[in-house]
Structure 1
């Protein structure tokens, strides 16, 4: 029995899998070692995950998570998991590898994450061949929900939104300048806060101002990321994440502009990861 985790900044999808498929599925809060230490991560596991696993203990854990891009950050996750699941074999990898495995399987292609944050890579069917770096919500994250939210909030504060649209936004979220700045500069998860405004933009996506922002968001992602990969117009460009899925019409328009071919667009890599890891159960030797 193995435990597969797909963790973003907003939520974590945990799936306990045996030879017959998924036996238990649990959702918890997102885990980002960029902002959380090992103790804080363990608290999430203890409060939200362990009580729902019915004392099932995995032989191996395959954890894919946002922010798992350095030994120090990965160690925080490993320490928390080791405390929660003593004796389990633990593998911690970046969520970008999860996206590539789920989207491309064993085929060459470009894999992209467009959720709260954004990232992309050229995948050779086994390993990540190239990666234009994701610079996070302060310097990058083009294509993401956080980037969309930042565009909207900046336009709101700079009084660049049409009056009716600005009033609708203000009333829906009870916005003030101080509440916005406090949430961006003093909260633990500013990118998650900014990404919440993507839902408003989806609801208002027919508005020409909002439509232009959505298009610009994806256009910048293609220009700064996708177009940097060798043969980007000759291999499928695949996407995972809520932003890619819910704004797929505009995403396809932008891809066409750059001569790229869209492959798969899914909301979550979990099903693809289960298929990828199913063969590992035989190696572990537990049904």
Structure 2
């Protein structure tokens, strides 16, 4: 039996799946972060090695893996990918090892290895596309200092700005101010500012304000409504930019939605659609077909077997 391993390595956890050549998922395992830029090569090698051993143990398998395909956060630069490959090859985890970005894994999972567009909006926001030639396109995702418009962080940051403008008397009155005061147990603007710039209220904590903004929007708060409208428009813009670069202006496109912000998709979809349809004819929003770890396994199977038939995809779907 020929087996491959698909890995999705992120900033908080690493997910792996062991899959046979017919698409049966033999085991699934989760371990700690494997972001190369955060943990470094040695720790990454240990995490992936432990993950592989756990998968083989869980499946009761000892025979060698023919291909390990790892889609990893922090592996965007070719030099870094080669460093990671060298580390993993030294562990003798599989006959062949491929390292790519976590975005490639997410795209492959969303569209079962085929073309399409994904937009990810959680703490950050980014859009990726893959065309029929296998070319990749990206827009956004430049981090909280330079971009990430439409993300949870963006929504939370704009809420803080709206609250501060209310404090100053230079913006609309907003119940976001009292909600933020209550959330953090503060009545002093100085305490809020010092907590943010000291890192006590960090990027993740700011992003966690997003659900509060959606709640206040539902209550009719003007500032909250403006913030959510802006977030939806910004996500629509990055979708449009990727579609344009893919040569899909005026076409119908499929877009898979990934990330915590899209728990409010019913609110965001009309906003995104209105903006993106300035470029494309129509958008079909969808959930990903498979998780990113399965996406990595699909890419490994495609390299080993070529085009996957419906039977293999059906077997993969049975594990969902």
Normalising to structure 2: TM-score of the pair? 0.69
Q: TM-score, normalised by structure 1?
A: 0.75
Instruction: Work out which of the residue numbers 24, 31, 37 in structure 2 matches 1:28.
Output: 31
Q: Please name the residue that 1:67 is paired with.
A: 74
Q: Deviations over 1:151-183 (max 9, x none)?
A: 3444456647524311333149xx954443333
Q: Where in structure 2 are the equivalents of 1:90-129 lying within 5 Å? A: 90-105=97-112, 107-129=114-136
Unaligned stretches of 5+ residues in structure 1: none
Distance in structure 2 (CA, Å) of the matches to 1:108 and 1:242: 20
Structure 2, unaligned runs of 5 or more: 307-320
Match of 1:214 in 2: 228
Helix, strand or coil for the counterpart of 2:132? coil
Which of the numbers 139, 144, 154 marks the counterpart of 2:146? 139
The DSSP-based 3-state class of the residue aligned with 1:131 is strand
Output one character per residue of 1:131-169: Cα deviation in whole Å (capped at 9) or x when no partner: 335322221122333333433444456647524311333
Partner of 2:272 in structure 1? 255
* 2:124/2:153 contact within 8 Å kept: yes
Take 2:210 and 2:251, find their aligned partners in 1: how far apart are those partners?
31
CA RMSD of aligned residues (A): 3.6
Moved more, 245-254 or 204-213: 204-213
Moved more, 268-277 or 112-121: 268-277
Specify which of 240, 262, 265 is matched with residue 245 of structure 1. 262
Could you tell me which residue of structure 2 aligns to residue 2 of structure 1? 4
Q: 2:312 matched to which residue of 1?
A: none
Deviations 1:186-212, CA, capped at 9 Å, x for gaps: xxxx65554444455566562434443
CA contact (8 A) 2:17 2:294 kept: no
Bigger Rg, structure 1 or 2:
2
Q: 1:183 aligns with which of 199, 204, 213?
A: 199
Deviations 1:61-105 (A, max 9, x none): 111123321123324533453455545422111223223322334
- The answer to which of 68-77 and 269-278 deviates more is 269-278
Partner Cα separation in structure 2 for residue 212 and residue 44 of structure 1: 43
Higher relative contact order (CA 8 A, sep 6+): 2
Of the three residues 269, 278, 285, the one matched with 2:292 is: 269
Deviation (angstroms), 1:14: 1.5
**Aligned residue pair count:** 276
Mapped contact 1:116–1:146 kept (Cα < 8 A): yes
